[in-house]
A = this chain, B = another copy of it.
């Protein structure tokens, strides 16, 4: 399609860009990026001189998962999915792209981060930006009014990695949501119970779950004298309280957002409050707060929520915190966010925020968040019928990072296969016998490997076991074949015992049943 002369011209220009950056001693990152563009251009005309100049890289902001990372990812998924299943959740899946207009008007300013597909004729498509909007579209499209589902899948955001180091443009989200018209706060409380279970089981260190309610925030703004049209803007400033001291937040409210100093001070008093059911009770009596119907509705629900949380035995970690704001527009009731409180357990912030969505990663240690969104499904229904929803998103990329970091610093070896036994030989010309034996093992459901060599050395077979953590070796030799036995070697202890062929499978099962 493109003219060759044009490309060659582009190569020349790009070459100069690179030279200029190098002479200016620009950052390695910046130079690498421009060099990649240059190589890409060169590759386009590279076909002619016989060898294609490939740029061997993944797309910017994406990464491959190697087997070790996959093993960790699988372990984390298993823990989380078990919890979702314990709570009776179903699962669904949606396509990686949606009609462009399905995503339109759902993400405010962040819409610019949506990946569009090229118009190659037909519908205009975009990659999904989260799992919540496709979920709402799914419910409306199928007229589903009741479901408890989880969905674990990748989402896409054209975030600028230069600005937000360590974030990915392709990353997992892991959502659990309960849709349906139910009695107040029962599903909401279950979401918090789930967060508590998952974070406890993953053993990430101590954590705290902050809880607030959109209606309490809005009521509070109203009674503090914030003009209606400034609610959202002031709310997003409050959202910065976990990264900035109150003084700076106040300055932003007064100097940038034009709020009166008195109003800011009143807000300041409220957002410093933390507690439990008692705090909700106190605020219901508060002379100012009690004037807001909205706030009172929220406070009553917080009380009810805490009564259920007590029954679920999770109040040890849950705090009613009036400074919790969360950015997403679509929340209508309770909101929550879980943070790790042991700084030491987490990697440095730079690498910590992998994939945490921009508007959701309000806290450095944030590992889960969510809330109630009763209006979103109605946006998709032709008649605007509402389906109340409450859900939670587990910050799984953040958790992967922590787990990978843990695996690196600990001596523990991450196994990437589950092989129980290696079928090996001590002498030459035993390939056929080994294949015969491994067939017996596979057919009995034993996880087994054999080297793809006719005559591998015993040492290299044993080395492979050490490297990949295979616990047992079934060694065949002339003598063993004659005696109808197999020499079973325990890799860790180097102990060897002759096991009769007939008992081998049972013996392997017995010895690896804990693994």
Contact = CB atoms under 8 A, between A and B. Distances in A.
Contacts of A73: 93
Contacts of A178: 452
Given A96-B154, A416-B90, A442-B87, A57 B141 contact: yes
B123 A37 contact: yes
Contacts of A90: 67, 70-71, 416-417
Contact of A99 (B55, B87, B138): B55
Contact of A380 (B56, B180, B187, B452): B56
A209 interface: no
A197 B445 CA distance: 11
Interface string A369-397: 00000000001101010000000000000
Nearest to A468: B88
Interface stretch (A113-121, A280-288, A317-325): A113-121
A137 interface: yes
A66 B147 CA distance: 11
Interface string A251-279: 00000000000000000000000000000
A64 interface: yes
A436 interface: yes
A439 B57 CA distance: 49
A245 to B, nearest CB: 37
A97 B59 contact: yes
A105 interface: yes
Interface in A58-74: 58-60, 62-67, 70-71, 73-74
Contact of A89 (B118, B138, B182, B417): B417
A142 B40 CA distance: 19
A417 B88 contact: yes
A190 B451 CA distance: 11
A330 to B, nearest CB: 15
A288 to B, nearest CB: 32
Interface string A36-56: 110010011001000111111
A: contact size bracket: 35 or more
B57 A70 contact: no
A183 interface: yes
A101 B452 contact: no
B183 A453 contact: yes
A337 interface: no
| Number of copies of this protein chain within its complex | 2
Interface stretch (A10-18, A305-313, A507-515): A305-313
Given A98-B58, A101-B55, A92 B117 contact: no
A239 interface: no
Contacts of A180: 452
User: Which residue of A47, A57, A64, A418 has the most chain B CB atoms within 10 A of its CB atom?
Assistant: A64
A168 to B, nearest CB: 9
Contacts of A193: 439, 442
A96 B40 CA distance: 19
Nearest to A54: B380
A341 interface: no
A47 B308 CA distance: 41
B119 A93 contact: no
A116 B120 contact: yes
A363 interface: no
Contacts of A125: 59
Nearest to A169: B95
Contacts of A379: 52, 54
Contacts of A85: 417-418, 447
Contacts of A218: none
Contacts of A449: 87-88
Interface in A177-225: 178, 180, 182-183, 186-187, 190, 193, 197
A137 to B, nearest CB: 7
A419 interface: yes
A28 interface: no
B140 A40 contact: no
14 contacts: A52-B105, A54-B102, A54-B379, A64-B93, A67-B90, A67-B92, A70-B93, A74-B91, A85-B417, A88-B417, A115-B117, A116-B118, A183-B454, A312-B439
Given A64-B93, A67-B91, 7 more contacts: A51-B384, A54-B140, A54-B382, A56-B141, A117-B117, A182-B452, A311-B436
Interface of A: 36-37, 40, 43-44, 47, 51-60, 62-67, 70-71, 73-74, 85-99, 101-102, 105, 115-120, 122-125, 127, 137-138, 140-142, 147, 149, 154, 156, 158, 170, 178, 180, 182-183, 186-187, 190, 193, 197, 308, 311-313, 379-380, 382, 384, 416-419, 431-432, 435-436, 439, 442-443, 445-449, 452-454
